[in-house]
Amino acid sequence: MFDSLARQIKDAQKIVFVTGAGISQESGIPTFRGKEGLWRKYDPMQLATIDAFYENPGLVWEWYEERRKNILAANPNRGHFAIAELAKHKDVIILTQNIDGLHQRAGSKKVLELHGSIIRIKCTSCDFNDNITKSFEELPPKCKCGKILRPDVVWFGEGLPQDVWSDAITHAQSCDVMIIAGTSLVVSPANTLPLYAKQNGAVLIEVNPEKTVMSSDMDLSVREKSAIALPELVSIIQK
């Protein structure tokens, strides 16, 4: 099957990656819905909603601060670096559900963070918004204006940043190849991006150790971890 797609992939002018927690799992960052996923251990309604935040901001911040420390201590893996390497030869756009910034740290420049960034912090009142890599001395942290700061991530019940989402749709509709790596494709609206690409006639490639809800829509499914499959896939595209 791959041989029949090889020419289309090699001739592609624009390649879009849609990435999820699976690509960062091998950097030591837990997924949310896998066998060892975070939502099997923690209730997202108590930790990842705006209501939970205002009800107990200290508790929510304790959890996010621990995650921030783990993420800041993690390093990009071979999957992240493979995508960054491909971008030196092709027009590559990354549409990621991840909030860890590992794509950028691997060298990728064109990254749209659909769900925000855990490294970026914003104020709940004023327009303060900045990347902060140090630990906070007290939780919840306060802005200079006196109001509580929060992670600049999209919580359950919140909409995606409209400018980011609009750009993501545009890229999905205009790509020749879309590679979906490390995502179960169950979170809306990010799971609609392959449909936009398919409507444009793009080749859809899935990289995931497990079958997903959209596997039957793929032109090729690679049942392997991203850190293993992506370097091999990229090397084939570059030949």
State pLDDT tens for residues 195-219. 999 999 999 999 999 999 999 999 9
| Count: domains in the chain | 2
| 115 is a catalytic site residue | yes
The DSSP secondary-structure symbol of 156 reads B
Using CA atoms, how far residue 197 sits from 31, 42, 106, 172, 191, in Å, is 25, 34, 25, 5, 11
Per annotation, catalytic residue among 80, 89, 103, 115 = 115
In this structure, are 206 and 174 located in the same domain?
A: yes
The confidence score (pLDDT) of residue 39 equals: 42
| Interatomic CA distance for residues 72 and 101, integer angstroms | 9
| Interatomic CA distance for residues 104 and 98, integer angstroms | 11
Q: Is 126 annotated as a binding residue?
A: yes
In this structure, are 235 and 173 located in the same domain?
A: yes
In this structure, are 136 and 224 located in the same domain?
A: no
Where residue 237 sits, what CATH number does that domain have?
A: 3.40.50.1220
In this structure, are 132 and 231 located in the same domain?
A: no
In this structure, are 49 and 99 located in the same domain?
A: no
Where residue 62 sits, what CATH number does that domain have?
A: 3.30.1600.10
In this structure, are 181 and 100 located in the same domain?
A: yes
% of the chain beyond a pLDDT of 90: 77
Q: Is 97 annotated as a binding residue?
A: yes
State pLDDT tens for residues 163-194. 999 999 999 999 999 999 999 999 899 999 99
The confidence score (pLDDT) of residue 2 equals: 58
Q: Is 175 annotated as a binding residue?
A: no
What six digits make up the tokens of 35? 């066998």
Q: Is 42 annotated as a binding residue?
A: no
Query: Which domain, by its residues, includes 25?
Result: 1-29+76-115+160-239
Lowest mean pLDDT across 19-23, 58-62, 202-206: 58-62
